[in-house]
C-alpha cells in the first residue's frame, strides 16, 4: 500500500507545473544538494514543515535515485531513503537549504554471509525533488519580498538542469465552453491573459491577437504544448512500468518487520542479556529461526540478533512454521535413556579421538512408524542446548556432544562444543550450525 501511494504521488507530480526556482542547486552532490531561496528563514521553515512526513520512505526502484554501483540492480531490494535538512539564514530575505539523502537497500549476495543492508550514494534526485516542492510551496504563498510580481518568476526549469526531479513542467489543458472560431482557451491561460479580463473582451479572435501578438507566438505555444504532451506520454509509460514491477514483485516470507521505534535487538534470547542496538519502526530483518517468545534475525553479513516475537510483524508462513515447531517441541518423540563421557571413536575428524559427552535416546512410546525428521531435529536441538549448558557450568574438558538414536531407523548426530558456543551466542545461525555438524544418515533431520 505504501509503494502504491508513492507511485500515485509520482504520477500526480507529472501533471503539475514546476515553477522556476529562485535559487541555484548545489554542485557538490557528495555532500547533498542546496539552494538559496529569496525568503526569510521563518517562511522557509514553515514551508518545510508541510513535508516533514515525507522526509523518509520507501523507494519502488533504486535505478534513477542512487549512483550506479558495481553490482546488478536486481541484487538490491527494499530501498529506503531518509533526508537530513539544514536551514541557514544568509541574509534578511535569503535562506540556504541544504538537503542530504541517505539511501539504504538490502543486498542479496550469492554468498549468504555477504548479504545485508548497504548504504548507496544518492544521485541527487531525492534532494532536488524536496527542494522543488519547497519552492512550489513558497511560490503558492505569493511572490518573494522585492521580487517582480510577474508570471516570468514562475517559468518552468530547463530540462538541462542537473538532477532534474520527477516533477516536470506540463500544461494544464482546460477547454472553455462557449469558445468559437477555434480559439484555444488553454493557450490564453498560459500566455497570462484571463478570459474574464478587459483585454480579453470582444471577439475570441481579438482576445487571441491581444494575447499573443503574432501568429508566430501561436505556433510557438502549440509547439510547447506538443512537447509537454509528449513528456506526459513518456512519463505515463514509466509509471505503468513501475506499477507492473510492483504487481510482479514477490513478497518474501522470511522477513520480519519491527512494529515500533526503540525495539531492542538482543545478543541472546533473553531480556536480561546485552542489547546490540535499538531498531526503528518499519525496519526489516531476515528470519533465521523462531522460538516461542523470540525470533533469531540476520542484521548484516554474519551479524545476528534476537528480537521479541511480540515486537515484530511476522509473515504468515513464519507464524505457521513456528506454531508447528512449537507443537512438535511440546511433545518430544524420544527420551534419554543413558549418558556417559568417553572418547569418540567415530570417523568424524573434528571429534575423532577426543573426549565427548554421549547421549543415547529411544522412542518415547511404541510407534507404528519411525519418528519424522522434524521431530528428531527438535529433540536433538533441545538435548544439545541442555548438554552445552551443563558442560559450560561444570567446566569439563569435553570437546563435543554426540546423540545416538536407539530406534529402528537409528542415526547419530555429533556437534563440537565450539560450534554449540557460537550458535548459542547468536554468531552462528541454526541452519549453518546443522551444516557444520555430523549427521548420519544425512536425511536424519531433513537438512
Place of cell 558456543: 421
Share of the chain above pLDDT 90, in %: 19
Closest CA to 360 of 336, 380, 342, 385: 336
The CA distance from 399 to 419, in Å, is 10
Q: Is residue 122 part of a domain?
A: yes
Same-domain check for residues 25 and 118: yes
pLDDT of residue 303: 80
pLDDT of residue 425: 85
* pLDDT surpasses 90 at 428: no
**Nine-digit cell at 90?**
544568509
The CA distance from 397 to 192, in Å, is 90
pLDDT of residue 293: 87
pLDDT in tens, 107-164: 998 888 888 888 999 999 999 999 999 999 898 887 765 443 333 333 333 333 344 3
Same-domain check for residues 38 and 113: yes
Q: Is residue 117 part of a domain?
A: yes
Same-domain check for residues 439 and 337: yes
Tell me the sheet residues that pair with 287.
297
pLDDT of residue 294: 92
pLDDT of residue 215: 66
Question: Where is the domain boundary, 294, 312, 327?
Answer: 327
DSSP letter, residue 155:
P
**How many Å separate Cα 241 from the centre of its chain?**
20
| Confidence category of residue 376, pLDDT binned at 50, 70, 90 | confident
pLDDT of residue 62: 87
The CA distance from 377 to 415, in Å, is 13
| Confidence category of residue 95, pLDDT binned at 50, 70, 90 | very high
Mean pLDDT over the full length of the chain: 75
pLDDT of residue 441: 82
| Confidence category of residue 332, pLDDT binned at 50, 70, 90 | low
Tell me the sheet residues that pair with 165.
none
* pLDDT surpasses 90 at 99: yes
| Confidence category of residue 393, pLDDT binned at 50, 70, 90 | confident
Place of cell 541555484: 24
Share of the chain above pLDDT 70, in %: 69
pLDDT of residue 176: 39
Here the CATH number for the domain that contains residue 320 is 2.30.30.40
Q: Is residue 178 part of a domain?
A: no
Same-domain check for residues 147 and 65: yes
Identify which has the larger pLDDT, 391 or 35: 35
The CA distance from 280 to 297, in Å, is 15
- The answer to whether 187 touches 174, Cβ cutoff 8 Å, is no
The CA distance from 392 to 324, in Å, is 30
Same-domain check for residues 8 and 122: yes
DSSP letter, residue 88:
E
The structural domain count of the chain equals 4
Q: Is residue 404 part of a domain?
A: yes
Same-domain check for residues 63 and 141: yes
Mean pLDDT lowest among 132-136, 245-249, 314-318, 324-328: 324-328
Mean predicted confidence (pLDDT) in 407-425: 86
Q: Cα-Cα-Cα-Cα dihedral of 432, 438, 444, 447, to 10°?
A: 20
Q: Is residue 55 part of a domain?
A: yes
pLDDT in tens, 230-285: 889 889 888 888 877 776 665 667 889 999 999 999 988 888 888 989 999 999 99
Same-domain check for residues 109 and 39: yes
**Nine-digit cell at 410?**
537409528
- The answer to whether 402 touches 358, Cβ cutoff 8 Å, is yes
Q: What angle do CA 51, 53, 54 make, to 5 degrees?
A: 65
Q: How many residues does the chain have?
A: 447
- The answer to whether 424 touches 381, Cβ cutoff 8 Å, is no
Residue-number span of the structural domain to which 277 is assigned? 255-327
pLDDT of residue 296: 92
Same-domain check for residues 32 and 141: yes
pLDDT of residue 94: 92
Closest CA to 359 of 414, 397, 407: 414
Question: Where is the domain boundary, 248, 265, 290?
Answer: 248
Q: Is residue 173 part of a domain?
A: no
Helix locations, 191-345, DSSP H: 204-212, 215-248, 316-330
- The answer to whether 278 touches 320, Cβ cutoff 8 Å, is no
Q: Cα-Cα-Cα-Cα dihedral of 155, 159, 160, 165, to 10°?
A: 100
Identify how many contiguous H helices and E strands the chain contains and give both numbers: 10, 17
Mean predicted confidence (pLDDT) in 193-200: 40
Q: Is residue 361 part of a domain?
A: yes
**How many Å separate Cα 437 from the centre of its chain?**
35
Identify which has the larger pLDDT, 182 or 97: 97
The CA distance from 168 to 14, in Å, is 6
Same-domain check for residues 244 and 287: no
Same-domain check for residues 232 and 263: no
Q: Is residue 359 part of a domain?
A: yes
Most confident of 17-31, 79-93, 136-150: 79-93
Question: Where is the domain boundary, 227, 248, 269?
Answer: 248
Helices 2-14 and 215-248 cross at an angle (nearest 10°) of 170
Same-domain check for residues 352 and 419: yes
Same-domain check for residues 365 and 399: yes
Most confident of 40-49, 141-150, 203-212, 356-365: 40-49
pLDDT of residue 365: 73
pLDDT of residue 403: 92
Most confident of 181-190, 297-306, 411-420: 411-420
pLDDT in tens, 42-74: 989 988 988 888 899 888 888 889 998 888 888
pLDDT of residue 4: 52
**Nine-digit cell at 375?**
521431530
> Is the overall model pTM greater than 0.85, yes or no?
no
Helix locations, 161-284, DSSP H: 185-190, 204-212, 215-248
Amino acid at each position: 500500500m505504501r509503494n502504491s501511494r508513492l507511485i500515485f504521488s509520482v504520477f500526480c507530480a507529472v501533471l503539475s507545473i514546476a515553477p522556476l526556482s529562485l535559487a541555484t542547486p548545489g554542485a557538490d552532490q557528495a555532500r547533498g544538494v542546496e539552494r538559496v531561496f529569496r525568503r526569510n528563514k521563518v517562511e522557509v521553515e514553515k514551508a518545510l514543515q508541510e513535508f516533514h512526513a515525507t522526509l523518509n520512505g520507501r523507494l519502488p526502484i533504486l535505478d534513477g535515485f542512487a549512483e550506479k554501483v558495481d553490482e546488478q540492480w536486481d541484487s538490491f531490494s527494499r530501498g529506503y531513503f531518509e533526508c537530513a535538512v539544514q536551514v541557514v539564514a544568509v541574509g534578511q530575505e535569503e535562506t540556504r537549504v541544504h538537503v542530504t539523502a541517505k539511501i539504504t537497500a538490502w543486498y542479496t549476495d550469492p554468498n549468504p554471509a555477504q548479504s545485508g543492508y548497504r548504504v548507496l550514494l544518492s544521485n541527487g534526485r531525492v534532494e532536488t525533488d524536496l527542494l522543488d516542492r519547497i519552492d512550489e510551496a513558497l511560490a503558492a504563498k505569493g511572490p518573494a519580498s522585492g521580487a517582480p510580481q510577474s508570471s516570468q518568476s514562475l517559468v518552468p526549469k530547463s530540462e538541462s538542469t542537473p538532477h532534474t526531479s520527477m516533477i516536470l513542467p506540463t500544461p494544464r489543458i482546460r477547454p472553455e465552453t462557449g469558445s468559437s472560431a477555434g480559439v484555444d482557451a488553454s493557450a490564453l491561460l498560459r500566455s497570462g491573459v484571463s478570459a474574464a479580463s478587459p483585454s480579453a473582451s470582444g471577439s475570441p479572435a481579438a482576445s487571441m491577437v491581444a494575447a499573443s501578438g503574432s501568429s508566430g507566438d501561436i505556433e510557438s505555444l502549440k509547439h510547447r504544448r506538443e512537447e509537454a504532451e509528449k513528456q506526459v506520454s513518456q512519463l505515463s509509460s514509466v509509471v505503468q512500468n513501475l506499477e507492473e514491477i510492483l504487481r510482479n514483485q514477490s513478497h518474501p516470507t522470511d522477513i520480519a518487520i519491527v512494529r515500533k521505534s526503540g525495539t531492542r535487538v538482543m545478543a541472546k534470547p533473553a531480556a536480561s542479556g546485552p542489547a546490540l542496538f535499538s531498531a526503528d519502526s518499519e525496519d526489516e530483518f531476515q528470519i533465521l529461526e523462531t522460538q516461542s517468545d523470540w525470533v533469531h534475525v540476520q542484521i548484516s553479513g554474519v551479524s545476528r540478533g534476537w528480537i521479541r516475537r511480540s515486537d515484530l510483524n511476522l509473515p504468515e508462513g513464519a507464524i505457521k512454521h513456528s506454531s508447528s515447531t512449537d507443537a512438535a517441541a511440546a511433545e518430544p518423540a524420544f527420551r534419554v535413556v543413558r549418558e556417559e563421557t568417553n572418547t569418540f571413536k567415530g570417523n568424524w575428524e573434528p571429534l575423532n579421538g577426543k573426549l565427548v559427552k554421549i547421549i543415547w535416546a529411544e522412542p518415547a512410546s511404541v510407534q507404528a512408524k519411525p519418528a519424522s525428521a522434524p521431530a528428531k531435529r527438535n529433540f536433538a536441538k533441545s538435548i544439545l542446548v541442555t548438554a552445552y549448558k551443563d558442560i559450560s557450568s561444570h567446566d569439563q574438558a569435553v570437546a563435543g556432544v554426540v546423540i545416538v538414536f536407539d530406534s529402528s531407523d537409528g542415526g547419530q548426530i555429533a556437534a563440537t562444543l565450539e560450534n554449540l558456543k557460537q550458535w548459542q551466542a547468536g554468531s552462528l545461525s541454526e541452519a549453518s550450525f546443522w551444516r557444520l555438524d555430523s549427521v548420519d544418515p544425512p536425511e536424519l533431520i531433513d537438512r
